[in-house]
Amino acid sequence: MAPAADTRLARAAALVGGARRLVVLTGAGISTESGIPDFRSPGGIWTRYDPRQLTFDRFCASAETRRLYWEMGNDLFPALRDAHPNTGHRVLAALERRGGLLRIVTQNVDGLHQKAGSSPGVMIEIHGTALQVGCLACGARQDRGPVQARFAAGEQDPRCACGGLLKPATISFGQAMPERETAQAAADAAASDVFLVIGSSLEVYPAAGLPRVAVDNGAALVIVNREPTPYDADADLVLRGSAGETLGAIAAQLGLSLSDA
């Protein structure tokens, strides 16, 4: 590794290791290494389904739209259900065990942080989770597997026991963001002393606005991403590369053990 890269990694490790209120924002780039495709990349789900046809209002109003949602789930859900966390996820779980990690805000819906050992209390799944379904009438949640199996067996419009519409517990286009989680994420960003972005293009709001909140309140900003982001000029440090390899190198500098994750 080039000396300049060594220096940047050492600086990143010093910032992350010295944080007392570390807030982490993760995007699709941390999960692609677990075999989960980025929805927006070539070959991603939005190249096969038109998101304009799958808005929240259409889901509520149209049985055909609901059928398309569950059909998309036949493609997507098994990959999410069976995916395994990678080094990046395990490093963040190890940072929580070490202490100083205030929050992980994830734009991902795959549950891999929890599989890696991150506790539910430290997580904000700001776009929801694809591993559960919720009833739009009574609010009850349940595991997605049995409901997806009902669709695969021929039930085109699965319903809750109360008769309400069942929907994957993700935030759809046109659906209101969860107010409590969004407000908590902003408050945590404002309270952070180091804000670490991993694998996010920082183009999808409101999550993309969190680094600005952090920087405006005095936090150091560290970005780990393969491609440039709109916040690179505001960052104290930008590390260009894969999430797993980069976080693994930071973990090695900090002497973190990943064996318990």
For the chain, which residues make up each domain, given as ranges?
Answer: 1-36+85-127+177-261, 37-82+128-170
Q: What number is the average pLDDT over the span 196-202?
A: 96
Residue matched to tokens 């049985």: 63
pLDDT score, position 261: 45
For residues 7-29, give the mean pLDDT. 96
* pLDDT at position 230 over 90: yes
Give the mean pLDDT of the chain: 92
What is the Cα–Cα distance from 201 to 226, expressed in whole angstroms?
Answer: 9
- Res 46 pLDDT > 80: no
Q: What is the pLDDT of residues 119-173, one digit of tens each?
A: 999 999 999 999 999 999 999 999 999 999 999 999 999 999 999 999 999 999 8
Per DSSP, helices labelled H in 19-140 are: 56-61, 63-82, 87-98, 112-116
How many other C-beta atoms can be found within 10 angstroms of the C-beta atom of residue 11?
Answer: 16
What class does CATH assign to 1-36+85-127+177-261? alpha beta
pLDDT at position 260 over 60: no
> In CATH terms, are 1-36+85-127+177-261 and 37-82+128-170 the same topology?
no
Beta strands per DSSP E along the chain: 22-26, 101-106, 123-125, 128-135, 141-143, 166-170, 194-198, 220-225, 237-240
User: Which residues are within 8 A (CB) of 39 and not within 5 positions of it... i.e. 6 or more apart?
Assistant: 28, 45, 46
Q: Taking a C-beta distance cutoff of 8 angstroms, is the pair 137, 117 a contact?
A: no
**Burial of residue 4 (number of CB atoms within 10 Å: 0-12, 13-18, 19+):** exposed
| Mean pLDDT, residues 217-242 | 96
Closest of 146, 175, 170 to residue 158, by C-alpha: 146
Catalytic residue among 84, 89, 113, 127: 127
**Would residue 84 show up in a list of annotated catalytic residues for this protein?**
no
Which tokens is 116 given? 């890696």
Sole residue written with tokens 């969860």: 178
**Could you tell me the pLDDT band of residue 257, with boundaries at 50, 70 and 90?**
confident
Q: Which CATH number fits domain 37-82+128-170: 3.40.50.740, 3.30.1600.10, 3.90.1150.10, 3.40.50.11540?
A: 3.30.1600.10
